[in-house]
A = this chain, B = another copy of it.
Amino acid sequence: MSAVDPPQETGRRRRRGERAAQPVAAKPPSQPVLPFPPLELVSKDELESIHQTALAVLEEIGIDFLHDGARAILKEAGAEVDPGSKRVRFDPALVEAQIGLAPREFTLHARNPARHLRIGGRHVAFGSVGSAPNACDRAGGRRPGTIADYRNFLRLGQTFEQVHFWGGYPVEPVDVHPSVRHLDALFDMLTLSDKPIHAYSLGRERNLDAIEMIRIARGLDEATLEREPSLFTVINSSSPLRLDTPMLEGILQMARRNQVVVLTPFTLAGAMAPVTLAGALAEQHAEALAGLALAQIVRPGSPFIYGGFTSNVDMKSGAPAFGTPEYMKTAIVGGQLARRLALPYRSSNANAANTLDAQAAYESVFSLWGAIMGGVNFLMHGAGWMEGGLHASFEKMALDADLLAMVANFLEPMRIDEAELALDAIREVGPGGHFFGAAHTQSRYRTAFFAPMISDWRNHETWREAGSPAAADAAERIVAERLESYAPPPFEPERREALEAFVARRKEEGGAPTDY
């Protein structure tokens, strides 16, 4: 198979930019590459009208930046900062000047070089669930997250090849004091796993601690770390049109060190954004542009991912909905908007189900459909997210890992050549025959097809005799097997010791302030 069109990303060069060249690392074999152009659901003119509306929002209405330092930087760069409020307005030319500086593609580095990821272009990377306040499994039910559950999610996710990175803490370990939680949680993440990690933007100290911890874990000097993005932070705007203090501090700290900012407006149509999808996308785009402008003014060329999270709410209850038709559409147009800005695109594998039933599955696959066809590069909440993010599910992580593996297999090009076209095998078998015994089949059947972990294809009688298991039963079994067979990945002893020493020192110093 070949792509029908040449990748759009290669057709346009960065217009200017002073960032250091990114070393191009090989992607892991498990990282899919989109074999077709992303779907364009709106026309170029329609896309441009969303972009222009966002520019009008930035120029006429403005964004509240709740951080004095950020406002000072923007004022210095030419933005109009209202002296009596936190409001910042942007001339369209100032915004447009920031487009094209950030890399279309970059490598997100892991402490294990085999886990480095290519972000952008047609590359796709899948992340774990992040930031759920509750954990859930079938044996223990739904409960507030603890460090024990947190560690088990790390162990479980480490075993799935299609979970490429950690999208934050899979579950919040609320039994660890907030002043030191980031130290313990990141230490666990860097020792129980070797995949790329996320840092929460919850105050300058936490950003700086995370940057230092990944530097130590990778064994780098500071200059190399600045050349090699090794950490990302998700910046959620406080929609509509507001960026709060810790989030802005996160942009400043991460962009300055050339680490990755994923700017994701939380624009639920009908609540924090207009009830129309076009309007919600215009607001999303305005907020993303505001964040992009700050990051690129702080450090032109710093890596930046455009996040789309626009969905709708249930207008009867106000409850957020995910994996809906509206979600699919905004996921796809979100990708178009990201490419309009020459940025990698983040979307999510989201659902609003309370339990691992058909709804959890169909909302997830609809989300994946929108994300993949939209050209997602960076899929957050890929494995384990449930209930609109309110709980992380162990069984859902296993089931999602299977869904992601199926998507990755779907994205592998279909081979079409003489051997694959199998005219000889068709001739050998002939009308009315059977292919199983053919040499063409025998030499290929073991690896011909994707073998899922969860799907139960036994005939009805055999399945019933086995106790009529549902997919959630299979997922529960897989979770138990994976946790049983888990082994921590190798870690250079001197790096681990240095990391332990850093954590111990920072704990002695009292950790980080809790009044962020």
Residues of A at under 8 Å CB distance from B? Answer: 1-2, 4, 35-36, 39-43, 46, 49-50, 53, 56-57, 60-64, 87, 142, 238, 240-242, 269-279, 282-283, 286, 312-315, 317-321, 324-326, 328-329, 333, 352-366, 369, 373, 387, 390-391, 399, 403, 406-407, 409-410, 412, 414-417, 419-423, 425-427, 429-436, 438, 440-441, 444-446, 448-450, 452, 454-460, 463-464, 468, 470-472, 475
Contacts and interface: CB of A to CB of B under 8 A. Distances in A.
A354 B465 CA distance: 12
B471 A423 contact: no
A326 B406 CA distance: 9
Given A275-B435, A409-B325, A458-B319, A358 B41 contact: no
A350 to B, nearest CB: 12
A449 B270 contact: yes
Contacts of A319: 457-459
Contacts of A429: 240
Given A319-B458, A416-B42, A456-B354, A445 B56 contact: no
A259 to B, nearest CB: 27
B355 A448 contact: no
Nearest to A267: B435
Contacts of A448: 269-270, 275-276, 312, 315
B421 A50 contact: yes
Contacts of A426: 57, 61, 240-241, 274, 279, 282-283, 286
Which of A50, A455, A457 has the most chain B CB within a 10 Å cutoff? A457
A468 B355 contact: yes
B279 A420 contact: yes
Contacts of A433: 240
A366 B362 CA distance: 9
